[in-house]
Amino acid sequence: MINQIIIDGLAFALPLLVIAIGGIFSERSGVINLALEGLLGFGAFTGGLCFTIITQFLPMDSLVAFYASFLAAACGGVLFSLIHALLCIRLNANQVISGVVINIAAVALTGFLTVQLNQSFFSGTSNKFFLATAPRLTITPLSQIPLIGGFVTSVYPFELIAVGLVAICWFVLYRSRFGLHLRACGDNPQAVDAAGLSVAKTRLAAVMISGGLAGIGGMCFAYSISANVSPAIYFGAGFLAIAAMIFGNWKIITTLIACLIFGFARAASFQLVLLLEMDSSIFDLAMIVPYVLVLLLLVFFSKNNRAPRALGSKYEKGQS
């Protein structure tokens, strides 16, 4: 049971962390990003479309289609994030309202396009793009070790991708020149401007990165939770990622801890329902456990949060 909690918890926590890190990049640059839910949904839509097109010519279990769908999801997330960047950076729109509008637009747009594309090109009337079951990997010698075995048993390939992305993002944010400029844009954009750097371009890059990461995270959930891309992909993961980011104080390592808490809590609640042989309707109730934890954590820890000082501020070149 413990191993299964670890397996399911990681499969949920790692994609959630990738999405949350996307939010960190955007908000550490000074742009509020409540659009993560919409970005992950649109990214999953483009990834599902890519998978469907490729599998018209290749088998459903093709690894080419599997990995190409993640690349397409990242591109779709980046493309959709440009709307948020345009509204917030170029047009100085209210960043909160922009995020909300993008979330609503993504649900309507992807649902409409999925139905239309299925009817026009794929001889169906469904509002879903069906995916193959994602392969799983197990390191047999280590899988027999208590506790440790859960971390190397039935691992999705995208979990390894997520771990690699987390390491790269940590290095970029905290050890690269670009990361230094990005964090400065969120804390002191005047200093960045005075140094001859473009605040707008840095923030644009940060929002695009957040879109790409959110798209990848959305594709991970499409493979692991439902094996299809449909309106059900909008199940609140983007908002949960925002909560993890805030609880993590806009830092990658502490956000990782928050995501693991949410992931393991969700997995443990499901296993408890199975262990007690409760009615299947209780599964729906078990899904709220991470969100209850969000409320509790924010109540007890929000006083210690230190958001970027220029978060949500509108900045124009030469502004003092």
Please say if the pLDDT value at position 33 is more than 90.
yes
* Phi and psi at residue 129, to the nearest 5°: -105, 115
Distance CA 143, CA 303 (A): 41
What is the widest separation between alpha-carbon atoms in the chain?
Answer: 64
**Chain centroid to CA 282:** 26
Please report the pLDDT score of residue 40 as a whole number: 97
Please say if the pLDDT value at position 142 is more than 80.
no
212-230: per-residue pLDDT in tens?
Answer: 999 999 999 999 888 899 9
Q: Quick check: 61 and 192 in contact, CB under 8 A?
A: no
Q: Quick check: 264 and 254 in contact, CB under 8 A?
A: no
Distance CA 217, CA 155 (A): 16
DSSP state of 233: G
Q: Is the CATH number 2.40.160 carried by domain 2-304?
A: no
Q: E strand or H helix at 228, and its extent? A: strand 228-229
Please report the pLDDT score of residue 320 as a whole number: 56
Quote the Cα angle for 224-225-227, to 5°.
75
Distance CA 175, CA 101 (A): 34
């970027």: which residue's tokens? 308
pTM for this prediction: 0.94
235-268: per-residue pLDDT in tens?
Answer: 889 999 999 999 899 999 999 999 999 999 888 8
In angstroms, the Cα distances linking 284 to 44, 68, 287 are: 23, 32, 5
Distance CA 293, CA 266 (A): 10
Domain ranges of the chain: 2-304
Neighbours of 90 (CB within 10 A): 11
Please report the pLDDT score of residue 125 as a whole number: 76
Q: Quick check: 32 and 312 in contact, CB under 8 A?
A: yes
Please report the pLDDT score of residue 318 as a whole number: 60
pLDDT band at residue 129 under the 50/70/90 scheme: very high
- Of 27, 302, 19, the residue nearest 187 (C-alpha): 27
Average pLDDT over residues 82-102: 95
What does the mean pLDDT of the chain come to? 89
Please report the pLDDT score of residue 315 as a whole number: 77
161-208: per-residue pLDDT in tens?
Answer: 999 999 999 999 999 999 999 999 999 999 999 888 999 999 999 999
Any alpha helices (H) in 195-301, and if so which ranges?
199-221, 237-247, 252-275, 282-286, 289-301
Please report the pLDDT score of residue 173 as a whole number: 97
Query: Which comes out higher in pLDDT, residue 141 or 265?
Result: 265
Please report the pLDDT score of residue 4 as a whole number: 85
pLDDT band at residue 106 under the 50/70/90 scheme: very high
DSSP reduced 3-state for 129: strand
Please report the pLDDT score of residue 253 as a whole number: 95
Query: Which comes out higher in pLDDT, residue 136 or 162?
Result: 162
Question: Would strands 228-229 and 129-130 be described as parallel, antiparallel, or unpaired?
Answer: antiparallel
Please report the pLDDT score of residue 23 as a whole number: 97
